[in-house]
Amino acid sequence: MHSYEVVMNMDFTKTAYIKAESPEEARLLAEERERNHQKTLLKSGYSIGDVDIIQVEECVHPNLKKRADKVARVQHAFRERERIYHAGD
């Protein structure tokens, strides 16, 4: 039995709920958060390539707004935990 390395290029679409002051800021934050997640992806053998923003529109549905708030709080907590964890590096 032989071993082979297979490199695959897979495209996917992801919807992110971002709390921002403007559509431009939402674009930047979405890409930044996705790229920050790359560390985890690299450990799994993935590498993020180009990030193409397809559309940005304001959330008007109350449940989506609640979800965006929750996601923002979780991401902030994660960044703080990472900052504290890596403070001694």
pLDDT given for residue 19 in this prediction = 80
**Global model pTM greater than 0.75:** no
Mean pLDDT by 10 residues, the chain (89 residues): 68 77 86 78 70 75 72 83 75
Rg value, the chain, Cα: 16
DSSP designation for 19: -
pLDDT given for residue 61 in this prediction = 67
pLDDT given for residue 57 in this prediction = 79
Q: How far apart are CA 20 and CA 3, in angstroms?
A: 47
Which of 47, 1, 37 lies closest to 16 in space, CA to CA?
A: 37
Burial class (CB in 10 A: 0-12, 13-18, 19+), 26: buried
Q: Is the dihedral of CA 63, 71, 23, 21 positive or negative?
A: positive
Domain ranges, ordered by start, for the chain: 23-85
pLDDT given for residue 44 in this prediction = 73
Q: How far apart are CA 34 and CA 41, in angstroms?
A: 10
